[in-house]
Amino acid sequence: MDNQKIPLSVMVMTKNEEKNLVDCLESVSWAKDIIVLDDCSTDQTKEIAQRYTSHIVERKLDIEGRHRNYGYSLAKENWILSLDADERVTPELAEEIKKIVTDNSVSLTGFSIPIRNYLGTYWIQHGGWYPASKLRLFKKGTFRYQEDEVHPLAIGDDNWGYCKGDILHYSYKNIEDFVHKLNNLSSREAIKWIRTERTMTLGHALWRTIDRFFRTYFIKKGYKDGLIGFMVAIFASLYQILSYAKYWEMKKNGIPE
């Protein structure tokens, strides 16, 4: 069957993703090489992954950028598609990708893909959340992330194009899930600041807090998403001051185990 599939490596990172993984892997079941890089799941993630691929590698997530780069190094094919388990490839995007990876005349080394983010079943279309294209399809060896704990910087040769089809990202199940992930990400951001010896001040953090809300809600028109748009802007600003508060605490007491 593999010879009927598209010569593409899809790298999917997982951590207890039994509720998301089927839809994710079904959306790329046409790819020849599916890599599941699993962060020591304790649910049925690995059993579900085995239905779609034998290329399953367990590795404890340490630093996000390093973890993703390791996953890309496992690719068997020349083209790599990077996905998270709560993402799905639309049929329109699948057709685009198939044409790109099977066309030997393509000179570009990567393609940015629009990300359609959801809170529950609501598609967040404003506030800078769409299209919010990210480089997700690239040739092996042409792209990597800086080795940071969170929001790692993308490093590549800039010889990129753009896809029209979307990746569907079911980012947050509900507001509670949003708050939970905000708490986790702000902790990792504070750790990154300390590890990289970045100097942060309360004044700068307050400025970033106000600026992030203003830009998200007004300049990027988050208000068009109603209450959800308002909450997204609030959380974007809260991320800034919460990261600083944790940074301040860790500077005094050390990074928690």
**By the 8 A CB rule, do 246 and 254 touch?**
no
Q: Which residues of the chain have pLDDT under 50?
A: 1
The whole-number pLDDT of residue 148 equals 86
- Write out pLDDT tens, residues 88-99: 999 999 999 999
Strands 87-89 and 167-172: antiparallel
DSSP states along 226-256 = HHHHHHHHHHHHHHHHHHHHHHHHHHHH---
CA 246, CA 257: separation in Å to the nearest integer?
14
Structure tokens at 186: 């702000």
pTM above 0.85, yes or no: yes
The whole-number pLDDT of residue 1 equals 41
CA 137, CA 163: separation in Å to the nearest integer?
9
Domains and CATH numbers, the chain: 2-171 (3.90.550.10), 174-253 (no CATH)
CA 7, CA 30: separation in Å to the nearest integer?
9
β-pair partners for 112: 135, 162
CA-wise closest residue to 12 among 25, 3, 22: 25
The whole-number pLDDT of residue 94 equals 98
The whole-number pLDDT of residue 3 equals 59
